[in-house]
Amino acid sequence: MPLTPTGRTRLPRPGPSLASALAATLVAALLVLLPGSTSAQAAPVLLSQGRPATASSTEGAGTPASAAVDGDNGTRWSSRFADPQWIQVDLGATARLSQVVLRWETAHARAYRIELSENGTDWTTAYSTSAGPGGVQTLDITGTARHVRVYGTQRATAWGYSLWEFQVYGTTDTGPTLPGGGDLGPNVIVFDPATPGIQARLDQVFQQQESAQFGSGRYQFLFKPGTYHGLNAQIGFYTAISGLGLSPDDTTINGDVTVDAGWFNGNATQNFWRSAENLALNPVNGTDRWAVSQAAPFRRMHVKGGLNLAPNGYGWASGGYIADSRIDGQVGNYSQQQWYTRDSSIGGWSNGVWNQVFSGTQGAPAQGFPNPPYTTLDTTPISREKPFLYLDGNDYKVFVPAKRVDARGTSWGNGVAPQGSSVPLSQFYVVKPGASAATINQALAQGLHLLFTPGVYHVDRTIEVNRPGTVVLGLGLATIIPDNGVIAMKVGDVDGVRLAGFLIDAGPINSPSLLEIGPAGTTTDHAADPTTVQDVFIRVGGAGPGRATVGMVVNNHDTIVDHTWIWRADHGDGVGWETNRSDYGFRVNGDDVLATGLFVEHFNKYDVQWNGERGRTIFFQNEKAYDAPDQAAIQNGSIKGYAAYQVADSVEVHEGWGLGSYCYYNVDPTIRQEHGFQAPVKPGVKFHDLLVVSLGGNGQYEHVINSTGAPTSGTSTVPSTLLSFP
């Protein structure tokens, strides 16, 4: 199917003047300070956004103090029409301050002071003027404080004081400078071609991890460039295998990288949480086996032969993901229910069960949905490959690939140098088990990127990623667990953050969300350098009781979510309709967000809620929650059940390709689901190649989308399909 991307013209957003926007961009550029040695100096970070703010007065209910620290240049605080007036923000902890940025509305201060306090009562003056020009003012200040106040003594107009934004920059680093770089820890296992006993070490880890679905072991195998002979690297849970070359062909294994399902009696539907990346393979019998399901990416791989995606014996398998890879031979899909392949080159593709989706893939089968079940897009509208660790001589670096538009085929090979930039390991804080959230945030405040080594990390406060271009990269499915109901990680309203290769596991106390990309209400355009979220997985329950209201929230415009599995557990420990309660899986509030490879399953209400404009999804896989106790538990007003994928009624433009939802209500098989998809009927809202499936007749769908599409029926597990909507 030729891809006809949705137009790029934005709906109007309220915001400051062009001059203000340019000034804000200049401020952000000046604040980026990348470390150049292993002892990086602190870079100023936006500390005030979203923090508690109070004021001497407000003009009305629509202009509260909080509006000046919400990151939204279209909302403001304004005071009564009198002198003096003040607004103050509590940073939450003592910080070393460097700048205050004031974005005044027309009603600005002619005379005012910037004041600092440790306790919110006793104030010292850090800056004062009697000739304030208004507009955007960037003020360099020095001092250490928890509270910062703008104290106006003379207005420039007859109106009150009015600020679009009151931003305080600095660092909470009040201790010794953290070093960048260093060793990668005991669970990163590095081989070169001369290393003795490679197969024995691979086997040792596999024996431990083969069936450890909810265990605490985490491992990363790294192969230095060169050629390796006679290996069969069997990959179990929480195990990642990668080459350390700049190209996959720099590291060749004459052998196999294998995932099979012997541990689960030939059923591959639970082969989760593992990965293979940046290697070339010469399979022993000509075909490599990669029988996986969700959260098991196959990236940047060159298979000099075929690839079999089914387990030995062709047992069940539940779908997966290939990107930026070249498979010279045929890919045997066989029993895989669904699969997504992006920006790759394949020698051919056989079979298909329900929905097989291809974008930007050379050699992909022709469009044929629903029979054969192929959705084929010539290109991927926007893509940027996942950052990866490699060796430059003896030095570790992280390569950060460039953005591609209308991509087709791999980003490497054919004698073309990879496009992107390299960041030395010395500019990363190498996070090891036992590191606290305070230390991690200190490293970010210093301007360091993060490299999480394999392990499980408990955090008692939110990890705050507020510097443009920050890379947060995990090895070996590094896992972050929020304690005390905090949000595990937040990304600021900044350009170019790269999140990749880690798992966030909900804690037993409910978190409002587990990952937030950008602040609510942002109006900033990030199209030139979007944030990317790749192989970042969210889990609620399974390894123990976990709770979160929402799994992932995307507020920043233009974000690319490239392969995620957001999963409320249907098996394991701490599983039950209320035990691991999580109402919403994936919520998008930002505009122009693109999801490529979206897997979201089992949430108590909506699995996906899309509120932003011009959203696009290429491939969606979903199962509704198995464990709903009865029809009443999922009733959505007058609607039977919550849709798997809901587009808000306010949305004017949205598009999706190759989307499937399945139900398996095994507690009460009589449950009826009104539809799998819900969307407004508008010319700009379009879907292509939709399906719903009842697994063995455990529950049924009455429609595919809204009131359109035939119902499912019986126990034969035959999908109801729809070629297009509306």
Catalytic residues: 623
The number of beta carbons lying within 10 Å of the beta carbon of residue 418 is 18
For the record, the structure tokens of 719 come out as: 């999908």
DSSP assigned state of 9: P
Burial of 96-116, coded b for 16+ CB within 10 Å and e otherwise, reads bbbbbbbbbbebbbbbbbbbb
Tell me the C-alpha distance between 230 and 413, whole Å. 25
SS3 assignment for 450-502 = EEECCCEEEECCCEEECCCCCEEEEEEEEEEEECCCCCCEEECCCCCCEEEEE
**What sign has the CA pseudo-torsion 40, 44, 50, 53?**
positive
Among the listed residues 424, 441, 391, 431, the one whose alpha carbon sits nearest the alpha carbon of residue 36 = 424
CA atoms within 13 A on the CB side of 226: 13
Task: Give first-to-last CA distance, the chain, whole Å.
Answer: 17
Instruction: Name residue 37's amino acid.
Output: S
CB 514 within 8 Å of CB 536: no
396: tokens are 């570790």
Give the Cα separation of 325 and 248 in Å (integer).
9
Query: Which residue in 300, 299, 257, 263 sits closest to 282, CA to CA?
Result: 257
Contacts (Cβ under 8 Å, ≥6 apart) of 197? none
The CA distances from residue 200 to 195, 206, 229, 233, 465, in Å, are 11, 10, 14, 10, 40
For residues 707 and 60, give the distance between their C-alpha atoms in angstroms, rounded to a whole number: 44
Spatial distance between the Cα atoms of 449 and 387, rounded to a whole number of angstroms: 12
Cα dihedral 198, 199, 203, 204 in deg (nearest 10): -40
Measured at the CA of 406, the angle between CA 473 and CA 531, to 5 degrees, comes to 30
420-424/403-407 β-pairing = unpaired
Please report where in the chains the tokens 């409910």 appear, as a residue.
510
Look at residues 386, 393, 391, 392 and name the one whose alpha carbon lies nearest to residue 412.
386
Q: Which two tokens stand for residue 616?
A: 């696009």
Q: Are 136 and 20 in contact (CB under 8 A)?
A: yes
Q: Which contiguous run of DSSP H or E holds residue 203?
A: helix 198-209
Q: 595: buried, middle or exposed (CB in 10 Å: 19+, 13-18, 0-12)? A: buried
Question: In Å, how far are 126, 170, 654 from 142, measured between CA atoms?
Answer: 7, 9, 47
Distance between CA atoms of residues 443 and 450, nearest Å: 8
* CA 68 – CA 71 distance, rounded (Å): 7
The sheet with strand 420-424 has its strands ordered as 388-392, 395-401, 420-424
C-alpha dihedral, 344 to 251 to 499 to 625, nearest 10°:
60
Residues pairing with 128 in the sheet = 113
What DSSP letter does each residue of 301-333 carry, written as one string?
-EESSEEE-S-TT---B--EEEES-EEEEEEE-
